[in-house]
Structure 1
């Protein structure tokens, strides 16, 4: 790696606040991944129902519909303070599951209830951390900073996949949750230690303590309208919704089913599959952090199409090592696609509306629980391969339609979304 490439990748760490945010985000992402795999395996083995597995995964995203409200709150009180409160809440909920498991009182119903509560908060985490990143990072470093920040999710998914299922298998869910609670607590403390951004862009004309209801509704509407109005922003949001509806279900909530029923493997095999996709995503994130001058909007189109092409192949594979290699390639394409969408939104959004814009971005994640629930039913009716092919093919065609509809914003070299 050249000296200039290393400097580009490490440049965000010259910002003191980022040196606290990055490890806090890393530990939170690690806890998310361990928790997803542990609970997914617990529900599948306790109930034997793929439908309940998809319901569990869907509950994690119940809060996507209120994500713009969290973004608005973050715009008013500060994104750093909101993230700290959210991560203390994760700690309390994880500690509840830990206590129930260690005392022998844990049951699938209790897990569903606690995950439903967590799901009201957790979907907003990624959007709020993105808005905080835009607050502390100079504009010229934003692409590199978003790419490096993305490695917190990718590396955590690798480590979480390999260690989380191992902890569960070796020590049980109670001790696995002891580790999860410690990760959440440490991440919350790091966020508290991080200094507030030097300038907070509150909603114009209102202080953080003056929250009349009409003002709240007006601010929320302003953020939602703004999120769809900028050059390329509508396309980025549509791609994010499409990916969550038709692509992520097969590398997210359904992965325990794929590991158990399609490849007939155990927790270790589930960990390998999840880690493979995350490894590819990490490769994509690091590559984009090192490469400058990328036409982001064109990359969004190309990477998303490649992602669906790899999913078409993945659903036909029945050999675990080949499936892992396919997931690595799909992970690379997925990372390039989702980073491109985030960069378009953050570049275009007005500073005082970033939280609400990223809240809208998180809201479109609601496509994931819809896709999961539909996939759970379709697999029972037409089988796994037919369902996967239907999802990937429809996603491929829909992405082509998005590229055609927004071609003026996504393809010309002079388009704002393609600015270097």
Structure 2
């Protein structure tokens, strides 16, 4: 018999959710620290926007190849074990980068190889974490848990970049070692999680069932529209890969300033996610998502044109606030509309879309900045995001008309 669900307690006092939330904060913080340190280190070594984009491509390629196996594994094995294993491998990778930095053998090729390994681990970790959450909280509080889970990501995205930029001042090796230790703690927390909602019976695995996540999403226009809108918008409007260029060459700051810039979107996102946890969205969720994506695009254009640090921080904060609305709508539609037996495969496809928008978007940003210049690339990307929001509102009328979230699938 599964342990009793702590329905009588507020969500933030339910021990299982606190463990989950803390582990996610630590794991995401580690990823953010690594992103800041790798970005600053590769730009210091090469001064190349193209190489900054290649880091994103290196993280994306394993995601493209491993998404289907990741979903299969998330649905067939203990999700806690999968997450813990990924975190331990990511921690060892960070330790390897520390040794390479201290010994003086660090090079772009070493960083690219580490980015591939981290990207592979994230491909397995992200969908498994998403599929694990509905198993460790009461079904009645899942929507609030999803919003607070997003707040964990945003909290980490505030703490991680600033901490990473600060640690980089003392040397990249120290930052990488801190990441390794934090991943170890996150893995221990995941190991302590209790399964409160037993998994549904697993279907027999065939080649068709492995691909069934794509078929499930394709058959549901609301989910397909939400995932693809988020992917294309962030693919065009993501300026994260170019933040080292803005920090050093446009805003004339140091690695700590870069950390502050990377943390700025999460400031707006964290505030918004806490509001949504307190007052969840219940009506007109489709229109709110379209409005949020358009706002993200306009804020990207402001950031791209800004050469004043406070305005850049403000624009990034608005981008984060708008993005979290889109993330909460998309995540809730996916989680509540997917049966548990398929949640790993559907979450894996969802993670591939998200990873495409983030990692491949970084490569796209590096390429367009090399071709057109940094500022034009970011401004044009923001304008493209606004156009996509308008186009998707016509292509996916079911999403535009979505008035609320579905009931949770069994």
Residue 19 of structure 2 corresponds to residue 20 of structure 1: yes
The 8 Å contact of residues 292 and 322 in structure 2, kept in 1 or not, is answered as: yes
Tell me the equivalent position of 1:58.
57
Q: Write the mapping of 1:154-165 to structure 2, written as runs, cut at 5 A.
A: 154-165=154-165
Give the superposed CA RMSD: 2.2
**Residues 23-50 of structure 1: per-residue CA shift (max 9 Å, x gap):** 1111101111111001110010011111
Aligned length: 399
In the TM superposition, residue 349 of structure 1 has moved relative to its aligned partner by: 0.9
Verify the 8 A CA contact 1:124 1:362 in the aligned structure 2: no
Distance 2:76 2:338 in 1: 16
1:222 paired to 2:222: no
Give the superposition deviation at 1:276: 1.4
| Whole-angstrom CA distance in 2 between matches of 1:407 and 1:265 | 45
1:80·1:196 contact (CA, 8 Å) conserved in 2? Answer: no
- How far apart are 1:120 and its partner, in Å? 1.4
Deviations 1:89-132 (A, max 9, x none): 11221121122223333222212112212211213423221111
User: Superposed, which structure 2 residues align to 1:28-39 within 5 Å?
Assistant: 28-39=27-38
Shift of 1:318: 1.1
- In the alignment, the residues of structure 2 paired with residue 195 and residue 311 of structure 1 have an alpha-carbon distance, to the nearest angstrom, of 41
Q: Where does residue 122 of structure 1 map in the other structure?
A: 122
Residue 338, structure 1, aligned to residue 337, structure 2 = no
- Identify the residue that residue 292 of structure 1 maps to in structure 2: 280
1:188 aligns with 2:187: yes
Equivalent residue runs for 1:372-411 within 5 Å: 372-411=362-401
CA distance in 2, matches of 1:198, 1:146: 16
Instruction: Give the conservation status (yes or no) of the 8 Å contact 2:16–2:137.
Output: no
- The secondary structure found in structure 2 opposite 1:61 is helix
8 Å CA contact 2:83, 2:190 repeated in 1: yes
TM-score, with structure 2 as normaliser: 0.91
Q: TM-score, normalised by structure 1?
A: 0.89
Deviates more, 1:153-162 or 1:60-69: 60-69
* SS of residue in 2 equivalent to 1:200: coil
8 Å CA contact retained: 1:247, 1:311: yes
Deviation larger for 390-399 or 379-388 = 379-388
- CA distance in 1: counterparts of 2:201 and 2:71, whole angstroms: 11
Q: Which of 271, 281, 296 lines up with 1:283 in the alignment?
A: 271
CA gap of 1:243–1:409, structure 2 versus 1, over 3 A, is closer
Counterparts of 2:310 and 2:77, CA distance in 1: 48
Which residue in 2 is equivalent to 1:42?
A: 41
Distance in structure 1 (CA, Å) of the matches to 2:302 and 2:48 = 26
Closer/same/farther in 2, CA of residues 138 and 254 from structure 1, 3 Å limit: same
Measure the CA separation in 1 of the matches of 2:314 and 2:123.
29
1:266 aligns with 2:265: no
Please report how far the alpha carbon of residue 70 of structure 1 lies from its aligned counterpart in structure 2 after TM superposition: 0.8
Q: What are the within-5 Å matches in structure 2 for residues 163-174 of structure 1?
A: 163-169=163-169, 171-174=170-173
